Amino acid sequence: MYKRTTLPNGLRIVTAELPHTRSATVSIYVGAGSRYERDEEAGLSHFLEHMLFKGASRRPTAKEISEAIESVGGMHNAATDREVTVYYAKVPDTAALETIDILADMVRDPVMDAAELEKERHVILEELASIEDSPPEMAGILIDETLWPHQPLGRNVGGTPESVRTLPLAAVNRYLKAQYVPSNLVLVAAGNVHHNEVAEAAAHWMGDMPAVVPGPWFPVQPRNGSARVAVRSKDTEQAHVCIAYPGLSLHHPDRYAVDLLSTVLGEGMSSRLFLELREERALVYDVHSYPSEYRDTGSFTVYAGCDPEKARVTVEVALAETARLLEALPDKEFAKGKQMARGRIRLRMEDTRSVAGWVGSQELLTDEILTVDEVVARIDAVTLDDVLRVGRELLQPSLATLAAVGPFDDGHPFEGLI
């Protein structure tokens, strides 16, 4: 299903040939993100991501980069997370090789103009300010800070207004040279493409990049008695509450059991949490769960948005429903969860951008690419006992952290819950 070539300088090129499509998604995955940043560099990976759209050697302005993609009907963007930064463009298949030229130019030879950096600094500050208008996002950031305090993994990927205001151009350039090196890059093309042509284009545009050892990422640190409940006071109509537990890493053999646990507990309108908190008790509009998996750790999070007056009972019911599931999970419900997990994975593979994401993230973070059938087989191998065992190990109230954003003066409404 996938083909891989590694250039002498360490650049990995992976393709998923889908000849039935009329599109192609070209992506470049980079080992860069908040886990690679010191405290004083908070937001550096995200800042650099923005700067790469401001112009490159063969298209020296933002307009020229955008026009090169959009003139053929394509779309492009980027995203920065804790362990990965990705640049991607989805274009008609006839423009795939030209798109390799465009993205390669951006990541290896951006203009990095000082005046443009100051402009983008203001843009990023506005992006951070927009989070203040999104209490669910604030709650998601706050729960990560609470679960992983005082370390890069728990930090907002975008940094803080204070750090963004002070990041100098020299630091951005140093980070570019340290992280955007061939052995830390994966170029992916998915769609109606031919591997040999993609590899040839990648070698032409990136094969002469010097081989450099990239900078390291910072491993997870113990919580060491930090507070388990955090509240952010904000004048909102709803309270936004997250409960999070330490989870498993990308490499842990039980990660698929965790995924199934989340599917049954809080994913979709037929999940335990949705049926109990919304359909039966009308406590919430939105409630869901999600696992997050990283190189050396992970998390399991439950989110709910509710009336502030009902925030405590919402948490109580969510905890009770979680405990009830771990007491007994009927075979029929477990089988439904498996089928749902299988189906969602298969549906993702209908889009070239999703296929590129499937391939690129695995190659960069795990150095192997599992096919859809291989992942489905691992899901099928999970037993009911596996799910209950893992759930009982992870979802213990004594291990939980809680974060809330809403019209609260302090954490008193949640006292004694975890």
| Enzyme catalytic residues | 49
Decide: helix, strand or coil at residue 392.
helix
Q: Are 93 and 22 in contact (CB under 8 A)?
A: yes
Walk across the sheet containing 401-406 and list its strands.
229-233, 401-406, 239-246, 298-306, 284-293
- Burial (Cβ within 10 Å: 0-12, 13-18, ≥19) of residue 197: middle
Q: What are phi and psi of 276, to 5 degrees?
A: -80, -50
Start-to-end Cα distance in the chain: 46
Per the DSSP assignment, residues forming a β-bridge with 91 are 24
- Phi/psi-derived region of residue 379, left when phi > 0, alpha when psi is between -120 and 50, beta in every other case: alpha
Q: What is the DSSP string of 297-351?
A: -EEEEEEEEE-GGGHHHHHHHHHHHHHHHHH---HHHHHHHHHHHHHHHHHHTTS
Q: What are phi and psi of 297, to 5 degrees?
A: -165, -170
Residue 296 to residues 246, 258, 300, Cα–Cα distance (Å): 11, 15, 14
Q: Which two tokens stand for residue 80?
A: 């920065």
Walk across the sheet containing 185-191 and list its strands.
2-6, 12-17, 185-191, 23-30, 85-92, 75-80
Nearest to 172 by CA among 58, 57, 52: 52
For the beta carbon of residue 63, count every other beta carbon within 10 angstroms: 10
